[in-house]
Amino acid sequence: MKSASHQSVWQQVKSGVRLTGIVFLIFGWLCLALGGAGIVFSPESQYAPAWLGWCMVGVSLGIAAVTVDRWAKVLPGLVCYGAIGAGLGAMSGRISGLVPIPIGRGEALMMALSLLGCALVAASIASRRLTRTDRVAMMGVIIAFVAGIGDRNLALVSSGLMFLCMAIAWGIDWIASRRGGRAREQTGRVGSGAV
C-alpha cells in the first residue's frame, strides 16, 4: 500500500514535469515565431528563403490561435517583460539584444508605457473566462508582438496596437457588464450579473 507522502511526492514530480514541458513548449513557440519574423523582416536573408519565414510565422500564429486561452494566462508576464526592456531602453537610449539598437528615449518611454498598460489590462482579462472578443484581441496582441519583434521600425506602432487591442476587449466587456450581463449569458460566461 502506498503512503500518503509517496503520493504527494509523485504528484509533485508530475506537476514539475508538466510545468517544465509547458516552459519548453512556450520557448519553442517563441523560437518559431521570432525566427520566422527574423527571416521575413530581414532585408537579405542569407540563411533561409522568405517563404520559409512566412511558413514559420503562419504555423506559430495557428498554434497561438488554437491555444489562445492558455496564452491569456502567460501574456501579461511576457508583455510586462517587454515593458521592462523598453523602460531600460528609455534610460540607456538602446534596446538590448544580440546587437544593441539605438532608440530615442521618448520612443522607448512610449513603448514602455503602452506595454505596461497592455500588461495591466491583459492581467484583468486573464483572470476571467475569455469571450470571442477577448480571443480576437489576444490574437491581435500576438500578431502585433511578432511584427514588433521582427521589425524595429514597427516596435512603437505594435506596442500601441497591443494596448489598443486589450483596451477595446476590456471596454466591450465593461459595457456588457453594465448592461446587466446580457452579453455574458450569450457567450456562456457566468458572472455576478448573469442569471
Q: How do residues 153-168 score in pLDDT, each as one tens digit?
A: 788 898 999 999 999 9
Q: Which of 10-14, 37-41, 124-128, 186-190 has the lowest mean pLDDT?
A: 186-190
Residue with cell 539584444: 97
Residue with cell 452579453: 183
Q: Which of 24-28, 43-47, 53-57, 100-104 has the lowest mean pLDDT?
A: 43-47
Enumerate the domain spans of the chain: 9-66, 68-179
Query: What percentage of the chain carries pLDDT values higher than 90?
Result: 17
pLDDT at residue number 165: 92
Pairwise CA distance, residues 75 & 139, whole Å:
11
Q: Are 40 and 51 in contact (CB under 8 A)?
A: no
pLDDT at residue number 35: 86
pLDDT at residue number 167: 93
Question: What are the cell numbers at 150?
Answer: 521582427
What's the mean pLDDT when you consider all of the chain?
81
- Reported confidence tier of residue 2, pLDDT bands at 50, 70, 90: low
Give 90-143 pLDDT, tens digit per residue. Answer: 888 877 665 677 888 888 889 899 999 999 998 888 888 888 888 899 889 888
pLDDT at residue number 182: 47
pLDDT at residue number 7: 64
Question: What are the cell numbers at 93?
Answer: 537610449
- What's the pTM? 0.72
Question: What are the cell numbers at 133?
Answer: 472578443
